[in-house]
Amino acid sequence: MRATWKGSISFGLVSVPVKMYPATVMREIKFKLLHSRDGGRIRYRKVCEKCGREIPENEIVKGYQISKNEYVILTDEDFEKIPLKSMKNIEIRQFFDPAELNFVYYHGFYYLAPDKGGEKAYYLLKEAMKETSSMALGKLGMRGKENLVALKAFDGGILLARLHYIDEIRNPAEIPGWGQSIRVSDEELELAKKLVIAMKKPLRLEEYKDEYKEALTKLIEAKLAGKEVKITEEAEAVESIMDALKASLESIENP
């Protein structure tokens, strides 16, 4: 597997050479866009608004708009001049308690593996975080951005999570209906709590699978076989929240 990034982790005066690999694999079914009349592929092309030509990658530059039709042009060479230590080194700024980091900040995960010569320092960092129940906070320059990152001992190695900066998180108070206080009866709340407790169990993610993907696969196979597929699912009518809570609790207690 090819590494996404190669550099080092530094904490104090200790440097750990590492390689970074994606922690997730996208498994969704992908489709091509086609013209419904003749089946021709629909493609997206980068066309210049002025000359109307399709432009190759080597003629495309990035421009920061300062006013209408006025841009500051930046080339790859300009970006390389930015003096960021984090492009090749994840400097750990602090360690912290994992409970302090709300999951709304997480944004993508990667595995960090020791590079040649860094095995001992890597192991020491991993074990120190594990035995102190700590995570590390640092910065990583990648894909045109300096990312805030968190490191954690995970399943025999070190997991890196990209984080959102605090100014990238929308204030939930801006969301319509957020934070409303609704009057409910004590009986309704008690039933809801009983339902939560009845459904609570140890988390086993291996029990869950993408049912939509499975149904989509069957649909494609049926289309290939020339069959007409019709899938219907009727929801049971529920008269009230109380009825729904009672019915749900009963179905769990008496499966």
| Neighbour-count burial of 11, counting CB atoms closer than 10 A to its CB (0-12 exposed, 13-18 middle, 19+ buried) | buried
Angle at 131 between CA 125 and CA 132, to 5 degrees: 90
Number of other residues whose CB lies within 10 A of the CB of residue 138: 20
Q: What's the number of CA atoms in the CB half-sphere (13 Å) around residue 151?
A: 29
Query: Quick one: DSSP state of residue 133?
Result: T
This prediction's pTM:
0.73
Decide: helix, strand or coil at residue 71.
strand
CB 14 within 8 A of CB 21: no
List the domains of the chain with CATH numbers: 5-27+81-168 (2.40.290.10), 186-253 (no CATH)
DSSP states of 34-65 as a string?
A: B-TTT-PBP----B-TTT-PBPPGGG--EEEE
CB 23 within 8 A of CB 109: yes
| Close Cβ partners of 167 (under 8 Å, ≥ 6 residues apart) | none
- What stretches in the chain show pLDDT beneath 50? none
Looking at residue 242, its pLDDT comes to 79
Distance of CA 46 to the CA centre of its chain: 28
Looking at residue 206, its pLDDT comes to 87
- How far is 17 from 28, CA to CA, in rounded Å? 34
Strand partners, 18: 7, 114
| Close Cβ partners of 158 (under 8 Å, ≥ 6 residues apart) | 18, 111, 112, 122, 125, 126, 129, 151, 152
How many residues are recorded in the chain?
Answer: 255
